[in-house]
Amino acid sequence: MTVPRLRFAPSPTGFLHVGGARTALFNWLYARRTGGVFVLRIEDTDVERSSWDKVEGILEGLRWLGLDWDEGPEVGGPHGPYFQSQRLDRYRAMAERLVAEGHAYYCYCNADAARVADAALAGGEEEGDAPRGESWTYDRRCLRLSPEDVAVREAAKQPRAIRYNVPEGATTFHDLVHGAITFDNANIEDFVALRSDGHPTYHLSVVVDDIDMAISHVVRGDDHISNTPKQVMLYRAFGAIVPAFAHVPLILGADKRRLSKRHGATSVMEYERQGFVPEAMVNFLALLGWSPGSGNQELFGRDELIGAFSLEGISSSNAVFNPEKLEWFSAQHIASTSAEDLARRIEPLLRSAGVWRDEYAESQRESLRRLIELLRPRAKRITEFVEKGRFFLADAVEFDPDAVQKHLGTPAALALVRAVRECCATVDPFTAAALEPALRDLAAAHGVKPGALIHPTRVAVTGQAASPGIFEVLELLGRERVLARLDACLRGL
């Protein structure tokens, strides 16, 4: 019994972006669903644009999302190396094999010079104009070279590339998302498999690796559909089994244009910095182009996703990236994460904000847990626990001048704060349940609505016009800190 083998094959020319993460996730989910193997392969043949930093960035993004790989960088495996830059000899050998077996030929044309010559022949272009690369196809002149012509070029040590000799006919492959897709080979030029500098093109390296790594399913972006017939020809030329393909739809911005920086953050780790929880990101990405079929369940934990995932559930129409939806998922996942777990995640944020206290340590973090419970109902990002928890976390109150002006700017407001201070000194126990009726009675005794007393009190103890429920805030702060803050306020801000 062979198990499915899937791979994520990023080119480390940038950080892990949303589209790549979604591709990785679909591969990972299918591998986990089927008891298969998830391979991570780094396609770093473009040495100028690839860097170790970027590889690290990609690994970091995958780790944050919890997409662990069974073979690949750091973990190794029986089909390594998993960096294309370490497999160049293998690509050269396989390209030579194509020539030896009559599927490819040496090409001595300097590709750029050939293009210019061709454009000149076609007329219409001024000398020096860049030819329109898309419409240019190689005229196969090197396929027609006589053995003598070849001998002359070899003797002169002319650099040579290896071009695949595209056969006549058509190439069809079955795509698990789009069904059968057929390309007329007449529209496919004899493409370069190995460049004259000895570097493979993407088509060659990806096929050689997918064969060597026994990949059974290729799940990747729609933008690779047009590459697939060339790769299918290579599989066949090598006598290898063609893997199953599933091309997943593009991710678009709200304006229906391909997702890019103009739509906001595209780097996955940027969402981490913005305080999104990875469970939400995974849930959100999973539903970009996939749906569970029956029912309208949207909230999925990791294991539920694994249980529900299928390649058949991938949609053939493009997915739209909706940041508000991501926030909704984040709020939902924060709501279902235990306070203890949230406390663990928030700790580094508290430390870097300089508001960490030893009393928040695991063994005695009751007060931190209570703060989390208080803020959690409205939290969309974990960074909010620090931002909105400042009234509790920091010693000094940071006053919002507008809030002070609006709610503490009159002698009447200060008189009410003084009354609240007296009440807070005596209420017992100092709990929300006891504070609420006491302060409401106090308002009635002064002939004002509760808000007239609550708003100034809130600004006095939190510095802000908005906070979670004031009675809970007071309880959490505790009598001592509340009295100190009210006193400070009465002494003048």
Q: Is the peptide bond before 429 cis (omega within 30 degrees of 0)?
A: yes
Cα→Cα distances 70→26, 36, 104, 170, Å: 15, 9, 35, 37
In 244-338, which ranges are continuous DSSP H helix?
Answer: 268-273, 278-286, 302-308, 323-335
Q: Which of 4, 6, 10, 99 binds ligand GLU (CB under 6 A)?
A: 10
Q: Establish if 206 lies at the interface with ligand GLU (CB under 6 A).
A: yes
The amino acid at 458 = R
Nearest approach, Cβ of 178 to ligand GLU (angstroms)? 16
Tokens (6 digits) for 292: 């569970």
DSSP state of 6: E
Quick one: which H or E segment has residue 151?
A: helix 147-155
Task: Specify the stretch interacting with ligand GLU by CB under 6 A; choose among 7-15, 183-191, 314-322, 345-353.
Answer: 7-15
Please say which residue, 20 or 292, places its beta carbon nearer to ligand GLU.
20
Tokens (6 digits) for 440: 């409401």
Phi and psi at 360, nearest 5°, equal: -90, 0
Q: Are 50 and 13 in contact (CB under 8 A)?
A: yes
Q: Establish if 250 lies at the interface with ligand GLU (CB under 6 A).
A: no
Q: Establish if 85 lies at the interface with ligand GLU (CB under 6 A).
A: no
Tokens (6 digits) for 99: 């020539």
Nearest approach, Cβ of 456 to ligand GLU (angstroms)? 58
Please say which residue, 43 or 475, places its beta carbon nearer to ligand GLU.
43
Q: Are 29 and 305 in contact (CB under 8 A)?
A: yes
Q: Establish if 209 lies at the interface with ligand GLU (CB under 6 A).
A: no
Nearest approach, Cβ of 138 to ligand GLU (angstroms)? 23
Nearest approach, Cβ of 218 to ligand GLU (angstroms)? 6
Please say which residue, 223 or 312, places its beta carbon nearer to ligand GLU.
223
Beta bridge partners of 71: 39
Nearest approach, Cβ of 53 to ligand GLU (angstroms)? 17
Q: Which of 4, 5, 6, 9 binds ligand GLU (CB under 6 A)?
A: 9
Q: Which of 115, 195, 224, 258 binds ligand GLU (CB under 6 A)?
A: 224
Closest CA to 118 of 135, 142, 101: 135
Task: Specify the stretch interacting with ligand GLU by CB under 6 A; choose among 9-17, 30-38, 71-79, 460-468.
Answer: 9-17
Of the residues 157, 230, 256, 261, only one is catalytic, namely 261
Nearest approach, Cβ of 136 to ligand GLU (angstroms)? 23
Size of the site for ligand GLU (CB under 6 A): 7
Question: 25-44: which residues touch ligand GLU (CB under 6 A)?
Answer: 43
Confirm whether 256 is a catalytic residue.
no
The amino acid at 482 = V
The amino acid at 469 = G
* Three-state secondary-structure class, residue 247: strand
Q: Which residues bind ligand GLU (CB under 6 A)?
A: 9-11, 43, 206, 220, 224
Residues forming the active site? 261
